[in-house]
Structure 1
């Protein structure tokens, strides 16, 4: 964790600024809502005054134009007017519901919760009670802060994922650069080893020794080639998947502990698949070594090749401690490892080689306390 104050200060300023901006927006929206509600209340009180004049007027009285205009002007606020004799008059309410007493009682209760009723009195006499709800504009305004916060959240999420993706891209470039530089640095001592091995061949030593040295030098060349290809698109050519798998498997078998029992089984002798042998062998090596580590250097490693229509499945099984089902997907993420000294890059590289470079699939086929089976699926070259 980085506790550098210089790096934390800009983030803290951005966080505080964002909090202040959101708080100001919410405060301003709330103030506007209250002000709008007060203005609607004033409009309803004016309407109630006009209604009071109407209730006191007789049929032959001539009401002023202003009173009539006020009564006719309200076309947005839903209202229920309950006269002293119990009769009900509605305004801006659904026409098919104005005669439904249960509906009106429910609306009156709702309007009471939204706004304080206005009592229409004249000279000490109670004439009517006006119940009114929030207008459509006011109701929409209530959800404005939620919509605004959602927009801000989505905008922040886009920015977050942009910077996260950008950072991941920079890290990938860094790792690719380090891998290529490592491959370059290994090249020099490799050339020297080749020369020294040629000199050893001229000495009176067991030829098997120089042969094994040649194999190890060849292996180092393969590793160098692997690292040099990280970060670039590898070339895929038709290869026999059975031969490539067996070669990688046999190499590991000869250089592993005698406490490990290796078995190889295949249902066919030859299957053509578009491969980059160097990277594919790296995949088999990582899966086998993971199995050996899971068994703590003692147990069985079994590799099986099974045709499956347009695909071929390569199964790598071990008798290790197993993987929890909840970790079936996360084990392929970079940095995830159960080893005390592991970096958690092996299975991440395997997934990238299989799925991104070879357009195949890799998954945990099964796992329990008796062992784990990993499955690679690649399309057959037809």
Structure 2
């Protein structure tokens, strides 16, 4: 399925590239043909003016006048041999009146666009005809690029809208699933609490009841976490060092003995506004992923850095690492390299940090067979 999606994306990109290349080629080819036609028209116009100056025949004069007067689109400037402007045609007359330097700038522009035509005035002097691209040629040349830009912006906005809609639907699914899970767990938990209290009244099973009570409390914590998904969290100012140490102690009791845990911090009190229940959930996910990556032995290190406006928590392991091409995909819902699980842990963890704590959760670094470091960035 994943390969099919990649294949479709590549095909769409290839088709879009082909359309763009074909459009640009066609426009350039068409504009070149129009440019050549305009050059021929200017050459004919120059010849007609030459006839007006030199031919005494009434027929030739009438034909020349007709040719000269038909040019209403191609801008022209007539100069003498010293470059002084003597006449012009098809230029913005209002702009000429407002701006004394307009004609001089247009002349320089025409010189860059095309070589001039030479028109003999008499045996001793010549005039020069400079011309520029017509409005039609400029429109043909540039309009398709503007059109492609507009289409690209439209597609980008459409994709953004679809992505936002898809994200909103995903959020609704997440919230619905989490709250339904919390609701379903609530009823049996109430019964289990009652049974634990009954067991505590019997001396023979009181130690067993105490252990069962711990598991019930744990299930209640999990239920509380699920119930908070989709709700506005109550952020509290907490000592993050104590919070991290508490979660590490809980995970350490349930980890293999060959796994070494260490917490490094320059200060014993680093405060931030967090939702303790959800923040602990994120840390548990990261630590459990680190344990899975190491397969029973290795080192897990948590580093806390305190800065003026934010703090950083790095969770590092010495496990098998994550390939570079998968480092962003590990946060996608449903993505997992394990045979068990739904692939929701890291996705939920990122949502909790980004949506509820306005922070960031990323893969800081990872090297195959050497380990991975996840980074949590939080505002203080």
Q: State TM-score, norm by structure 2.
A: 0.69
User: C-alpha displacement at 1:169, in angstroms?
Assistant: 0.7
**Map 1:145-224 → 2, pairs under 5 A:** 145-224=144-223
Q: Structure 1 residues 168 and 62, CA, compared in 2 at 3 Å: closer, same or farther?
A: closer
CA distance in 2, matches of 1:166, 1:75: 50
Specify the SS of the correspondent of 2:204.
coil
Does the Cα contact within 8 Å between 2:51 and 2:60 map onto a contact in 1?
no
User: C-alpha displacement at 1:349, in angstroms?
Assistant: 2.0
**Map 1:1-382 → 2, pairs under 5 A:** 45=44, 48-49=47-48, 51-57=50-56, 67=65, 70=68, 76-78=74-76, 107-108=114-115, 134-325=133-324, 327-368=326-367, 369-380=369-380
Q: Structure 1 residues 212 and 308, CA, compared in 2 at 3 Å: closer, same or farther?
A: farther
User: C-alpha displacement at 1:66, in angstroms?
Assistant: 8.2
Q: 173-182 vs 325-334, which deviates more?
A: 325-334
Q: 89-98 vs 306-315, which deviates more?
A: 89-98
CA distance in 1, matches of 2:310, 2:260: 28
Aligned residues: 335
User: C-alpha displacement at 1:317, in angstroms?
Assistant: 2.2
Specify the SS of the correspondent of 2:114.
helix
User: C-alpha displacement at 1:182, in angstroms?
Assistant: 1.0
Q: What's 2:92 paired with? A: none
Q: Structure 1 residues 46 and 352, CA, compared in 2 at 3 Å: closer, same or farther?
A: same
Specify the SS of the correspondent of 1:231.
coil
CA distance in 2, matches of 1:242, 1:104: 73
CA distance in 2, matches of 1:238, 1:96: 67
Q: What's 1:8 paired with? A: none
Q: Structure 1 residues 361 and 69, CA, compared in 2 at 3 Å: closer, same or farther?
A: closer
User: C-alpha displacement at 1:338, in angstroms?
Assistant: 3.3
Q: Structure 1 residues 252 and 153, CA, compared in 2 at 3 Å: closer, same or farther?
A: same
Q: Structure 1 residues 201 and 104, CA, compared in 2 at 3 Å: closer, same or farther?
A: closer
User: C-alpha displacement at 1:275, in angstroms?
Assistant: 1.9
Q: What's 1:14 paired with? A: none
CA distance in 2, matches of 1:366, 1:171: 28
CA distance in 2, matches of 1:96, 1:315: 62
**Structure 1 unpaired stretches of 5+:** 3-19, 82-88, 112-116, 118-129
User: C-alpha displacement at 1:173, in angstroms?
Assistant: 0.8
Q: Structure 1 residues 55 and 335, CA, compared in 2 at 3 Å: closer, same or farther?
A: farther
Does the Cα contact within 8 Å between 1:78 and 1:134 map onto a contact in 2?
no
User: C-alpha displacement at 1:183, in angstroms?
Assistant: 0.8
What root-mean-square deviation, in Å, do the aligned CA atoms of Structure 1 and Structure 2 show?
Answer: 4.8
Specify the SS of the correspondent of 1:224.
helix
Q: Structure 1 residues 212 and 160, CA, compared in 2 at 3 Å: closer, same or farther?
A: same
Q: 277-286 vs 194-203, which deviates more?
A: 194-203
CA distance in 2, matches of 1:180, 1:203: 36
CA distance in 2, matches of 1:142, 1:72: 23
Q: Deviations over 1:323-365 (max 9, x none)?
A: 3456554543444443344544322222222233223343434
**Structure 2 unpaired stretches of 5+:** 3-18, 80-84, 90-102, 118-128
Specify the SS of the correspondent of 1:261.
strand
Specify the SS of the correspondent of 1:205.
helix
